Amino acid sequence: MIALLVRDLKLAMRAGGGFGLGLAFFLVVTVLVPFGVGPDSGILGAIAPGILWIGALLACLLSLDRIFQLDYEDGSLDLLATAPIPMESVVLVKALAHWLTSGLPLVLAAPVLGVLLNLPAGGYLWIVVSLLIGTPALSVIGTFGAAITVGLRRGGLLLSLLVLPLYVPVLIFGTEAARRGAEGLANTTPLLMLAGISAGVLALLPFAAAAAIRVNLR
């Protein structure tokens, strides 16, 4: 499993569909927002947590269609399906590789980009904490969507339509946790809800994704 993780990390870096592309998109979204809403620091500070979360969510979408597609095209996915390892473990490794190359860089970049949006001083810690808790759910949900659409022609658009509604609860609680933290309010409830969503998808969706892959490979 470690060898599979290392292989996926190398492929993501080499193919250019993970680390660099997601960060570049995150940066573009953050830079363009002040041009759209104006230079008012009060408005920017109020919407900064939501903008950072939306940017991170959309950046995670960019590389979802590559999670299984490359393996499907070169036949590696068939070998993994017949290998003496559970397909659920393969799904988890794929989700972890996606998070390490797409989610984690966004978590680390968020405080830096928060400066461009005049994020309140109290919000830097909580935007990192909320993204750190919530982005694993984005990767696992995205891996589930990629498993459903693997092998489909032009499945990228369908994948986005399938995944975005499932991302909404993560976005709501993640933004609320960061917003309350930035305003100095209690944010325990949205953080717990966000952690519950991440734990729930980690426990359930690998089984659903593995079942979808088996169906698509028949």
- In this prediction the pTM is 0.91
- Total domains, the chain: 1
Q: Is the dihedral of CA 172, 108, 182, 29 positive or negative?
A: negative
The domain containing residue 135 runs over which residues? Answer: 2-216
Long-range contacts of 27-31 (CB under 8 A, 24+ apart): 27/109, 27/113, 29/54, 29/55, 29/58, 29/59, 30/55, 30/113, 30/116, 30/117, 31/116
Give the closest residue to 113 by CA, choosing from 55, 46, 36, 60: 55
What is the spatial distance between Cα 105 and Cα 107, in angstroms, rounded to a whole number?
5
Mean pLDDT on 58-82:
81
What tens digit of pLDDT does each residue of 91-141 get?
A: 999 999 899 988 999 999 999 999 989 899 889 999 999 999 999 999 999
Residue 5 has pLDDT above 60, yes or no: yes
